[in-house]
Structures are given as C-alpha cells and as structure tokens.
Amino acid sequence: MDNLKEYSKDEIIKMLEEKKIKAKDLTDSGICPTCFNKESNGAVFGDDTDKTIYENDKFSVFLVGNPRAEGHTAISTKKHFKDMMDIDDDTCKEIFVLAKKVMNVIREVYKSESVYLCTMCDGPMNHFHLQLIPRYSFEERGSDNFVKPRFDYKEDKEKIEKLRELLKN
Ligand SMILES: [Zn+2]
C-alpha cells in the first residue's frame, strides 16, 4: 500500500467504501482515522451517533462497534491528541474523572463485576482514547480480559437509554 497521503480525501473515501483499505492503513500512513472519520461523515467507522452515550464540548463516550465484551465503551477527546503522552494535564484530569463515572455506570447497567481500563494509541498516527472493558462474574480475572475476542455490536436500546440517563447527571 502506497502512503495514503498521496491521495485526495475523496479518493481515500472511495477506497474505504470499496473496502480496499481499513483504518489501520490510515494509521500507517500517518492519517488519524478518528479525525478522518469525523471530517468525512463516518467513512471509516460509520456514523456512531446511535452508539454515543454521553458527550460534552471536550469528550465523547460511545459503545464500541466491535466490542470485546457487552458494554465495551470508548472515551475519546474531541480535539486531536496522538496519545495519552501528548495530552495536557487538565485534559488528563478531566478524562480520568469522567472515566471513573462511566465505569461505575457501566458496572451498574451491565451488572459486570468489574470494568477494566486501557489505552494504547500506537502506530504512526492514532487518536487518543480510553477503552473501558467490563469483566463479568463468569469470566476469570486478569489481563486476558483486555484481549477477549471481538464480536459484532448488537444494539440494546434499553441499556443505551439507561446509560444516557445515568451519565446525564
Ligand atoms: Zn485525531
């Protein structure tokens, strides 16, 4: 794959639509897939408004499209940061206070035993986000929960409403 920076935005969108390239190819070419997705109305990851459970002027919180557990959630900054090592202290404090709240709400709504947090924005370009992965009572504790197999997202409207309601306050 050539560096995608040699292509126009429309050409990249066309390649994404034809499934010739994936988010990873944008990352490898130094293009942020999250910001590109936003600028192209969801050409990379699709429109995620139906998965969004909370947002304010700085952050959005949404259910992951290819989750590792029911309730697998991501928190992303609206502004572009390459990874956690690049964020300012205020953003760092605010996102962790928000993450604590979201983790408690996930545990309550999904009745999970715990919720794990990880961040690993690696590669030439990425967009800082935290991942919150529930660990259920039928699952063993430990770091294997970070690499549970992914599956297709299935919408649960009732849970989404509850998450939105609890995060509103
Ligand atoms: Zn970005």
pLDDT digits (tens, 9 = 90+) for 105-119: 999 999 999 999 999
Amino acid, res. 30: G
In the prediction, which pLDDT does 47 show?
A: 85
pTM: 0.92
Q: What is the pLDDT of residue 1?
A: 65
Residue 169 has a pLDDT of: 75
- Whether 22 shows a pLDDT value over 90: the answer reads yes
112 Cα–ligand 1 center, Å? 31
Q: What is the set of domains in the chain, with CATH numbers?
A: 1-47 (no CATH), 48-168 (3.30.428.10)
- Cβ-based burial of 85 (10 A; exposed 0-12, middle 13-18, buried ≥19): exposed
Between the CA of 80 and the centroid of ligand 1 the distance, in Å, is 4
Say how many Å lie between the CA of residue 118 and the centre of ligand 1: 18
Mean pLDDT for 32-55 is 93
Q: Is 58 helix (H, G, I), strand (E, B) or coil?
A: coil
Task: Please report which confidence band the pLDDT of residue 25 belongs to, taking 50, 70 and 90 as the band edges.
Answer: very high
Q: How far is the CA of 98 from the centre of ligand 1 (A)?
A: 20
Q: What percent of the chain has pLDDT over 90?
A: 92
| 33, 80 Cβ separation under 8 angstroms | no
